[in-house]
Amino acid sequence: MINDPSGNMGGLVEIALSQRDDIKIIPDSLTGFSRTTHYHRGRVNIQLHAPHEHVKIMQTVSERWRDVGLIAIDFTQPISVENNVRLYCAHKIPFIMGTTGGNRISLPHLVEASEISAVIATNMSAPVVMLVDMIIYAATNYPGTLKDWEIRIVESHQAKKQDISGTALTIGEIMKGLGVKFIGPENIRAIRDEIEQLLMGIPRSALGGHGWHKYSLLSPDGNVMLGFEHNINGRDTYVDGTLKALDFLVKKITEGSKGQCFSMPDVMHG
């Protein structure tokens, strides 16, 4: 079950999965549109159900498909994240949540209190996941090394992205383990203006889908600076990571996993 295939990421995932013989895409999907409509890009004509139908359609879908290995893949909208997770848990549908937004602290607890397992990640790209894992290693093994250092994050995404980068927020939070003074969104500058993006060097072809991040750290006395960046054009790397997460979750479910919330590092390690 792909929610929502009419979006950029959901549509690319739907195309990728439609090429696999071991996957069946069901013809129902959750969407944020105010009215029910249809979507047809891959092999399946999918009915997109408006929010007022979500509870009813999830009940129907769970009864019809759960016994044959139903898994939901969620690339909807940040405002829908928590409601969708509650629906998946209530109807015992394992899921992969690639949508950013929602309370990232409470979401894993909802899964852990349920009878299903899930993969929840702010970034599905394997190379970026590797970078995040490296920063976690540094924060764990060098705690306080950058005590009272300032951090500034600049992130650029396509103009349609509504929220601040979940990856930027995640890395900022991890850096606090090193002693860095990360408050939250106040430390992040989100660029959505296409002219400014072109001046940054982002290819025109990537304006509709990219993720550029630059992290700058400054010592309290101003004499030492550290920095790193990760830049992605297009969405192929996120699709590849989503497919890895799907195969990982299927494996875990086959092994009997219940009430476990996995991250992308878990996927890559597994």
In what helix (H) or strand (E) does residue 57 lie, and over which residues does it extend? helix 54-65
Of the candidates 49, 54, 91, 161, the residue annotated as catalytic is 161
Of the candidates 49, 91, 157, 230, the residue annotated as catalytic is 157
Cα(233)–Cα(235) distance, integer angstroms: 7
Catalytic (active site) residue 157: yes
Cα(119)–Cα(262) distance, integer angstroms: 5
- Biggest CA pair distance of the chain: 63
> And the tokens for 254?
């086959």
Catalytic (active site) residue 181: no
Residue carrying the six token digits 């092994």: 255
List of residues 6+ apart from 222 with CB closer than 8 A: none
Nearest to residue 211, comparing CAs of 181, 234, 227, 194? Answer: 234
For residues 265 and 237, is the Cβ–Cβ distance under 8 A? no
- The set of catalytic residues is 157, 161
